[in-house]
Amino acid sequence: MRTWSYNVVRTLFCAFLMISFPCYADNMDEGIENAGSGDLNAARDLNIRGWLRLSRHNPEVINIYMEITNEGKDAFLITGIRSDSCPSIFGVNFDQDDTEQAAEMFTHFTIPRKMTLVFPRGGYHLVCRGFQPEKGAPQQVTLDFHFLTGGKKRVVLNMNDKEF
């Protein structure tokens, strides 16, 4: 009886190895190919749209709400967001406690491939502190999204009160 159960366990283990390792190897090959290509194009694959809203209590604070769609086959890691109009840009979620992790979220945030992420009111979004209106376009903010691959995407967002 003991030999029979040993043979069953050994057979099941071998079957598991035959099924799981080829799938794992395929995923590993794809990741290595994409990581080594260096041909990621955030400007082409990402569609970023959004809107701005002035703080009710402080005209130097703007809330930035966005929708980011990655239509490409590669994921993109955002390493920072900068703007000449906003000396300080950070992440926040007003429905939760302010944390350092939320503030730094957009300095190491991945946009997965073939996915849309929404950063709405009442959820995680960006805050611009120290807002200085752009000359000639006081109702707009230009944001530069920087990526780990060295790429950059420039987006112009307008001030209004509409939602997605």
Query: Per the domain annotation, does 126 fall within a domain?
Result: yes
Q: Does one domain contain both 149 and 107?
A: yes
How many independent structural domains does the chain possess? 2
Per-residue b or e along 98-136, where b marks 16 or more CB atoms closer than 10 Å to that residue's CB: eeeeeeebbeebebeeeeeeebeeeebbbbbeebeeeee
Task: Provide the pLDDT for residue 108.
Answer: 87
Overall pTM > 0.85: no
Say if residues 78 and 66 touch (Cβ distance below 8 Å): no
Phi, psi values for residue 13, rounded to 5°:
-65, -45
Residue 6 structural domain: 1-37
- Assess if residue 164 is contained within a domain: no
Q: Whole-angstrom Cα distance, residue 99 to residue 115?
A: 26
Alpha-carbon gap, residue 146 to 151, rounded angstroms: 6
Select from 141, 112, 113 the least CA-distant residue to 54: 141
Please give the pLDDT value at position 123. 87
pLDDT tens for the chain, 164 residues long, are 555 554 544 554 444 434 433 333 333 333 333 433 333 588 889 999 999 998 888 889 999 999 999 999 989 999 999 999 999 999 988 777 667 777 888 888 899 999 999 998 888 899 999 998 877 777 889 999 999 988 889 999 998 755 54
Domain holding 68: CATH number? 2.60.40.1890
pLDDT of residue 3: 59
> In terms of domains, do 78 and 96 share one?
yes
Distance CA 153, CA 40 (A): 12
Would you state the pLDDT for residue 21? 39
The DSSP H or E segment spanning 18 is helix 2-37
Query: Is 54 in the same domain as 19?
Result: no
